[in-house]
Structure 1
Amino acid sequence: MRTSALTAPAAVLIALALAGCGTATPAANPQPSWVGAGASSAPSAAPSATAVPSPSAAAAVFAPGNPKGKAVVPAEARAVNTAKPTRVIGNGTPASCTSKAVVAAVAAGGIITFDCGPDPLTITMTATAKVRNANGPKIVLDGGGRITLSGGGKRRILYMNTCDQAQGWTTSHCQDQDHPQLTVQNLTFADGNSTGETAEGGGGGAIFVRGGRLKVVNSRFIRNRCDSTGPDLGGAAIRVLSQSKGLPVYIVHSTFGGGPGLGGRCSNGGALSSIGVSWVVLNSLLTHNSAIGHGANPARAGLPGGGSGGAIYTDGNLFTVRLAGTIIQDNHAEEGGGAVFFVSNDRTGTMTIEGSTLRRNPSDGFETRGYPGIFFLGARNPTVTSSTLK
């Protein structure tokens, strides 16, 4: 049930309200079937090889998201048909599926699939795969439920930025263009790490996107990282800055964390983070993610800032967040919003929660009264229907 909670000092909430935040009932303890006995059951990074069979390959079951989620998935949010790929990574053997091949395929664009043999495979990236803005307009990366792309704990895995001249400018208005349109589906992103990446403010341990469109379908994100402090950077799994015409990022049937030791850790947004971006999160599972910064946003005197949005951190002016058929539980924030941190600086943003469960998401600093695990500043209180908040 929804309960009242307000543990922040009044001065902190007043400062947040005036200053904004920078520039911009399913069964208990649900676990996706691939988690098994914990972290040891998930695909792990392979520091000494480019591609190796994932642990317990024969027993692995790829079933991300919330299987009991009943949210209707609109056509534009569904997986892309990859029956006729533009290019295929690999020739049927694990050895043919390398980091170099992934980087080249992503740069070339189009519909990309993998042919790495019948068993689950982890490909440890030796370089970040980067989208070339002129190659598309659609880029689809489909792992078929068998491929894990790992950052090896050392690097970001996937990058798209329409305003990065190194990736090519395709319009005179890079901050608002409808391409490239990037879809990742049926993939695992593990052990990505963007710590120390300063371009565009950092964040996005597994995936960083600015501009165009992003969609994530039937995928999972485990043990991703970004910088541990900073007032506004975030997104251990995904960081997004601007989307074409303000259209939302779709997250569908996907898992972020999923069990103890599998969650993401970042200053803010242990799973997702954005500035000025709308999100629609459908039939997904976000657990065991942490916002580990200290000092909130704007940072309190003498502190580096951060610590908000254990699972989701959103900031900006006009944007929306919709959670439907989704479970968010066992996440943690050092400051505000153990589940979700939502601040619309001009108070135009809105949030809806439908058919979802948010529980056991402690906020060590502050929450909005009556919305456990949520800190919210927007046009009106979040709209909650057929959902559990506790």
Structure 2
Amino acid sequence: MRRRTAAAALTTVVLALAGCGGSPGKTATTSSSAAQAASGAGSTQSGAPSVPATQNATTSSSAAAAPPANYGNPSGRATVPAEARAVDTSKPTRVVGNGTPGSCTSEAVVSAVAAGGIITFSCGPEPVTITMKATAKVKNVQGAKIVLDGGGKVTLSGEGRRRILYMNTCDQKQGWTTSHCQDQDHPSLTVQNLTFADGNSTGETAEGGGGGAIFVRGGRFKVVNSRFVRNRCDQNGPDLGGAAIRVLSQFHNQPVYVVGSTFGGASGQGGVCANGGALSSIGVSWVVLNSVLSYNSAVGKGANPARAGTPGGGSGGAIYCDGNLFTVRLAGTLVEQNKANEGGGAVFFVSNDRTGTMSIESSTLRKNPSAGFETQGFPGIFFLGARPPSVSSSSLTR
């Protein structure tokens, strides 16, 4: 991807309806003011709850699952389109576990993800944490749809040692199914009613690293009613990021949906990475609805491109986006108490060719310090795009 110099990146700043990423410098200036109010912390969204499992060749039948836990912003009222809602998992392809906590193992999760289909869990009536001893990897040849539904009771833990979930349509080890791997419509991966905790991709170099809990390239991806806590990735680097999630491409630049989900949520629970303490991408559009992103940190130093004598990074306390044409939309979402050592304590958005846009609707962004630089008039945001971000029924404050 073509990089701009820090000075060039500072000459114009624009936001509108989408896209994150780019090159920082000093504080940029725009002439737009935030509209008023809208806030909260919890989630409102549509989608079928996780229901019982059926027997298959490798698992036993499961008991009915309790209603999923609610994450995200309960005050959020953004409309959730049909394609962004939870997937019906009442007729799963396979079930992890046979009704007891001990039957829900890392090996079972890895095997189920590799096999694909709709995956639910039967781990008993109480919440359970499954410590992952290996990263669960999607096999690209295993059908069009892969769904993991934890029923609101399952936590997948990376133990602070490894990434939890990986999908990459361009990784030949996972099966190369088309000649245009970076732009194919499958697999479609959904995670819902799950907690991802203590994922760590530090030291992972494939595709530039990042994605402490989840790494995705290609196909389609969405997150519904899920929580991400204490995830990590490399703490230095000008362009890697996404302590919780890193996405590098999506079919026909269709957006990644994040609905009714929480990233951090309390002091000490947030993600930490060089850039993008929660979300990070290159050339990818995002729609974040009725969610909470809080207490995440971008801890790199030197920005992008890295200043002389520095390792680079430190931008996008919650969200780091880079690329050319892409969009970012925040609606019904609370973004607070995130911080960046360089630019964009809440959001760092750079569209290198100045075609990207961003919109903020019925959302609250507050207390997201940018230690280095941000766009005048948009507290917590550094933006370079087609035009200033569109802000409606929202509050942006320091």
**Do Structure 1 and Structure 2 share a fold, with TM-score over 0.5?**
yes
Is residue 273 from structure 1 mapped to residue 274 from structure 2 by the alignment?
Answer: no
Is residue 177 from structure 1 mapped to residue 184 from structure 2 by the alignment?
Answer: yes
Map of 1:297 onto structure 2: 304
Once residues 244 and 280 of structure 1 are traced to their aligned partners in structure 2, the CA distance between those partners, rounded to angstroms, is 15
Map of 2:251 onto structure 1: 244
The Cα of 1:149 is off from its aligned counterpart by: 0.0
SS of equivalent residue, structure 1 residue 175? helix
SS of equivalent residue, structure 2 residue 320? strand
Once residues 253 and 294 of structure 1 are traced to their aligned partners in structure 2, the CA distance between those partners, rounded to angstroms, is 32
The Cα of 1:320 is off from its aligned counterpart by: 0.1
Map of 1:329 onto structure 2: 336
Once residues 364 and 146 of structure 1 are traced to their aligned partners in structure 2, the CA distance between those partners, rounded to angstroms, is 38
Map of 1:286 onto structure 2: 293
The Cα of 1:15 is off from its aligned counterpart by: 4.6
CA-to-aligned-CA distance 1:297-332 (integer Å, 9 cap, x gap): 000000000000000000000000000000000000
Is residue 77 from structure 1 mapped to residue 80 from structure 2 by the alignment?
Answer: no
Once residues 129 and 69 of structure 1 are traced to their aligned partners in structure 2, the CA distance between those partners, rounded to angstroms, is 32
CA-to-aligned-CA distance 1:326-346 (integer Å, 9 cap, x gap): 000000000000000000000
Map of 2:384 onto structure 1: 377
Once residues 103 and 17 of structure 1 are traced to their aligned partners in structure 2, the CA distance between those partners, rounded to angstroms, is 48
Matched to 2:272, the amino acid is R
Map of 1:21 onto structure 2: 22
The Cα of 1:31 is off from its aligned counterpart by: 5.4
The Cα of 1:61 is off from its aligned counterpart by: 8.6
2:323 to 300, 316, 328: 316
CA-to-aligned-CA distance 1:179-223 (integer Å, 9 cap, x gap): 000000000000000000000000000000000000000000000
Flag the structure with more relative contact order, 1 or 2, with Cα contacts below 8 A and sequence separation at least 6. Answer: 2
CA-to-aligned-CA distance 1:276-314 (integer Å, 9 cap, x gap): 000000000000000000000000000000000000000
CA-to-aligned-CA distance 1:226-273 (integer Å, 9 cap, x gap): 000000000000000010000000000000000000000000000000
Tell me if structure 1 keeps the 8 A contact 2:137–2:165. Answer: yes
Map of 1:44 onto structure 2: none
Cα 1:129/1:17, change in 2 over 3 Å? farther
Once residues 219 and 85 of structure 1 are traced to their aligned partners in structure 2, the CA distance between those partners, rounded to angstroms, is 19
The Cα of 1:171 is off from its aligned counterpart by: 0.6
Once residues 68 and 169 of structure 2 are traced to their aligned partners in structure 1, the CA distance between those partners, rounded to angstroms, is 35
SS of equivalent residue, structure 1 residue 166? helix
Once residues 186 and 68 of structure 2 are traced to their aligned partners in structure 1, the CA distance between those partners, rounded to angstroms, is 34
Once residues 387 and 307 of structure 2 are traced to their aligned partners in structure 1, the CA distance between those partners, rounded to angstroms, is 26
RMSD: 1.6
Tell me if structure 2 keeps the 8 A contact 1:281–1:322. Answer: yes
CA-to-aligned-CA distance 1:17-71 (integer Å, 9 cap, x gap): 59x837xx456xx5559xxxxxxxxxxxxxxxxxxxxxxxxxx992210001000
Map of 2:114 onto structure 1: 107
Once residues 242 and 377 of structure 1 are traced to their aligned partners in structure 2, the CA distance between those partners, rounded to angstroms, is 20
Once residues 41 and 255 of structure 2 are traced to their aligned partners in structure 1, the CA distance between those partners, rounded to angstroms, is 27
Once residues 339 and 156 of structure 1 are traced to their aligned partners in structure 2, the CA distance between those partners, rounded to angstroms, is 24
- Which segments of 5 or more consecutive residues in structure 1 lack a partner in the other structure? 1-10, 34-59
Cα 1:381/1:15, change in 2 over 3 Å? closer
SS of equivalent residue, structure 2 residue 173? helix
Cα 1:12/1:176, change in 2 over 3 Å? closer
Map of 1:52 onto structure 2: none
The Cα of 1:12 is off from its aligned counterpart by: 4.7
SS of equivalent residue, structure 2 residue 107? helix
The Cα of 1:366 is off from its aligned counterpart by: 0.3
TM-score (norm 2): 0.85
Matched to 1:281, the amino acid is V
Tell me if structure 2 keeps the 8 A contact 1:16–1:298. Answer: no
Alignment of 1:147-166 (within 5 A): 147-166=154-173
Once residues 333 and 159 of structure 1 are traced to their aligned partners in structure 2, the CA distance between those partners, rounded to angstroms, is 26
Map of 2:146 onto structure 1: 139
Map of 2:365 onto structure 1: 358
Identity of matched residues, %: 77
Once residues 219 and 62 of structure 1 are traced to their aligned partners in structure 2, the CA distance between those partners, rounded to angstroms, is 9
Once residues 136 and 215 of structure 1 are traced to their aligned partners in structure 2, the CA distance between those partners, rounded to angstroms, is 17
Aligned positions, number: 349
Matched to 2:337, the amino acid is D
Map of 1:119 onto structure 2: 126
Cα 1:26/1:352, change in 2 over 3 Å? closer
Map of 2:355 onto structure 1: 348
